[in-house]
């Protein structure tokens, strides 16, 4: 019996769990319940059954005449014995014992499953796994992942409560808000033509709770965003959502770090190293990404001045052209890359917006092998090797373009060529701070776009530039990154109504429009809102990394496919005409193909 299960073992139908039996149980008469795994016949009279429940598997020796088959649900009564010498299974926690003198009662039979339950998930088509997700979850891998998720949630709750936070649930039906992502809309039956939105986050509610004097709020909240799905994104996701009053950035990051470290330690048994901190500009300049994976080096290098007088036309004059720079990334031991791979990297760079990609292999005696090497002077070649720290056997990739394009392209290529699998290496957490308040101009509105959301407090040192140079304004915002995955974002919030209106105006939201859309939010701020800040991070992403999974679907009980469908329920589905009429909705005819 393991300590983990000691309070769960006994029910009216069982005395122990399958995975808890050990040599110290030898001689005990036990009753187990579970599913039949593999059946192996041993001679004319005996058969071995693998009996499985959530705790593990144990071998049962039964009469060969007993008619039980794969995935039948059974109750087994028997005596615990040591396995005969030489037959122990060291790969199983229960591998030194077996159940003998077994009496079996069939509790429910089962049709043959569409795939072997003991088969690893990546050997089965994912659509089949999701169609029969209730069977897929029986697998050891899924059981482990979902129980790990529960451990993480429990550790987060314990940490937040120990720091004085109060758990409060916020509404799922709310008004539409401009948080940057597409919302799911819910039609109102009582007010035809009006809609609720499902929350992208509880942002507005938690700020109102600070106005209400709660001081420290948290919840493990379900959020929804109608965005394209990928390995680290689902329509529905769970996040730790927190807000606190009378704090600065350091306070928020410290409290969230405490919760994250507690969750990591609970899941892995090991306390992760101290969480690092990095400015956004440094992350972009050194790693080409605002979510840098620090498990490997391969930093980016600035070479604009190095090639200021070059005869190579693609680099010539970059220093004198506003907004154009020459930057490189160095990849150790990648010089053996074949021409087809290098051509593929070049095509990828072009698809990401770069005009081209220069590749250089460093050969013996630091001889440069590249179609463009002949255009570089000896001084430029020497400076290139010195600045990138490249040695024989390394590969250098160079892009000449706008700063943002060089970051995007080289940052992505850095991940493509160097990033280890998610389950390899240490856990490298990093806080990325000093984000820009706005990121570029919205081509539709010709107004700045918020870097995080419209409620981030501008950096006090930059307030005088809010109207005249908004793109240069920093935000009191911060992201938490783990091994190249953005876990979540936070900020110190705007608590002054007039400052909030100034930011809205920059986004193209007039005072009257703000009153219409956010009156319920802005009005309370007139009654003494405290300075406050908060954070939210994705539990799905954190658990996936701690479980060593590359896709969050492996740690979500009932996820959607990458196309957004649910093979098990066939959602999304159509609804009948009566439902649409009741909601005051008329469907447009399908668009012509």
Distance CA(105)–CA(68), nearest Å, equals 9
161 has pLDDT over 90: yes
- What CATH code would you report for 3-108? 2.40.50.140
| Tokens linked to 518 | 């956010």
Give the pLDDT band (50/70/90) at residue 340: very high
Distance CA(297)–CA(34), nearest Å, equals 49
**pLDDT at res. 519:** 83
The total number of residues written for the chain in this structure: 593
pLDDT tens sequence across 77-102? 999 999 999 999 999 999 999 999 99
Query: In 3-state terms, what secondary structure has residue 403?
Result: helix
**pLDDT at res. 593:** 66
Give the pLDDT band (50/70/90) at residue 12: very high
**pLDDT at res. 516:** 86
Give the pLDDT band (50/70/90) at residue 247: very high
Average pLDDT over residues 102-127: 89
| Tokens linked to 283 | 């992350």
Are 81 and 58 in contact by the 8 Å Cβ rule? The answer is: no
Taking the model in full, what pTM does it have?
0.90
**pLDDT at res. 6:** 58
Strands (E), 68-215: 73-82, 97-108, 166-167, 185-187, 195-197
Q: Does domain 142-174+200-271+430-556 bear CATH number 3.30.930.10?
A: yes
Query: In 3-state terms, what secondary structure has residue 155?
Result: helix
**pLDDT at res. 494:** 94
pLDDT tens sequence across 179-236? 567 899 999 999 988 999 999 999 989 999 999 999 999 999 999 999 988 888 899 9
User: How is the chain split into domains, by residue range?
Assistant: 3-108, 142-174+200-271+430-556, 297-418
560 has pLDDT over 50: yes
Average pLDDT over residues 105-124: 88
pLDDT tens sequence across 304-338? 999 988 888 888 877 667 778 999 999 999 988 89
Average pLDDT over residues 562-586: 92
Alpha helices in 360-510 (DSSP H): 378-388, 403-418, 497-506
Distance CA(309)–CA(384), nearest Å, equals 14
User: Do the two domains 142-174+200-271+430-556 and 297-418 of this chain adopt the same fold?
Assistant: no
pLDDT tens sequence across 483-514? 999 999 999 999 998 999 999 999 999 989 88
pLDDT mean across residues, the chain: 92
Q: Does domain 297-418 bear CATH number 3.40.1390.10?
A: no
Cα–Cα distance list, 54 to 19, 57, 130 (Å) = 8, 8, 20
Distance CA(173)–CA(241), nearest Å, equals 17
């Amino acid at each position: 019996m393991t300590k983990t299960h000691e309070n769960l073992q006994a029910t009216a139908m069982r005395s122990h769990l399958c995975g808890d039996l050990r040599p110290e149980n030898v001689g005990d008469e036990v009753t187990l319940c579970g599913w039949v795994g593999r059946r192996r016949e041993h001679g004319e009279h005996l058969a071995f059954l693998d009996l499985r429940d959530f705790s593990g598997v144990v071998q049962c020796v039964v009469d060969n005449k007993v008619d039980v088959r794969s995935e039948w649900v059974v109750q087994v009564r028997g005596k615990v014995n040591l396995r005969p010498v030489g037959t122990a299974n060291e790969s199983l926690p229960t591998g030194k014992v077996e159940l003998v003198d077994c009496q079996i009662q069939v509790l429910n039979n089962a049709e043959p499953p569409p795939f072997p339950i003991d088969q690893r998930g990546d050997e089965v088509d994912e659509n089949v796994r999701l169609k029969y997700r209730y069977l897929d979850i029986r697998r050891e891998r899924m059981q482990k992942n979902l129980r790990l998720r529960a451990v993480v949630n429990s550790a987060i709750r314990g940490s937040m409560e120990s720091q004085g936070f109060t758990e409060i649930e916020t509404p799922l039906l709310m008004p539409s808000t401009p948080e940057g992502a597409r919302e799911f809309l819910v039609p109102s039956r009582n007010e035809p033509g009006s809609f609720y939105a499902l929350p992208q986050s509880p942002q507005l509610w938690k700020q109102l709770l600070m106005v209400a004097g709660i001081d420290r709020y948290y919840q493990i909240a379900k959020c929804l965003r109608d965005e394209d799905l990928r390995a680290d994104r689902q329509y529905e996701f769970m996040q730790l959502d927190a807000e606190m009053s009378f704090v600065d950035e350091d306070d928020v990051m410290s409290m969230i770090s405490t919760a994250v470290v507690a969750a990591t330690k609970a899941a892995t048994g090991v306390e992760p190293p101290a969480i690092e901190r990095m400015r956004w500009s440094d992350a972009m300049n050194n790693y080409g990404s605002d979510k840098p994976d620090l498990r490997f080096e391969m930093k980016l290098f600035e070479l604009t001045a190095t090639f200021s007088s070059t005869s190579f036309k693609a680099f010539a004059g970059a220093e004198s052209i506003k907004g154009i720079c020459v930057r490189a990334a160095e990849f150790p031991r990648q010089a053996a890359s074949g021409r087809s791979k290098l051509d593929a990297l070049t095509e990828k760079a072009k698809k990401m917006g770069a005009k081209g990609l220069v590749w250089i292999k460093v050969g013996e005696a630091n001889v440069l092998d590249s179609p463009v090497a002949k255009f570089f002077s000896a001084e430029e070649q020497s400076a290139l090797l010195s600045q990138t720290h490249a040695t024989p056997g390394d590969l250098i990739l160079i892009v000449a373009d706008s700063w943002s394009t060089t970051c995007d392209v080289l940052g992505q290529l850095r991940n493509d060529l160097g990033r280890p699998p998610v389950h390899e290496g240490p856990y490298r957490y990093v806080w990325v701070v000093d984000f820009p308040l706005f990121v570029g101009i919205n081509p539709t509105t010709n107004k700045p776009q918020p870097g995080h959301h419209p409620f981030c407090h501008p950096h006090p040192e930059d307030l005088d530039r809010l109207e005249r140079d908004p793109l240069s304004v920093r935000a009191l915002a911060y992201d938490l990154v783990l091994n190249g995955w953005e876990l979540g974002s936070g900020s110190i919030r705007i608590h002054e109504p007039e400052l909030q209106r100034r930011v809205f105006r920059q986004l193209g939201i007039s005072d009257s429009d703000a009153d219409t859309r956010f009156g319920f939010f802005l009005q309370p701020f007139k009654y003494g809102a405290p300075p406050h800040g908060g954070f939210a991070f994705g539990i799905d992403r954190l658990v996936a990394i701690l479980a060593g999974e590359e896709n969050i679907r492996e740690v979500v009980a009932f996820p959607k496919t990458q196309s957004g469908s649910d093979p098990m329920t066939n959602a999304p589905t159509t609804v009948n005409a009566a439902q649409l009429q009741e909601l005051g909705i008329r469907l447009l005819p399908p668009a012509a193909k």
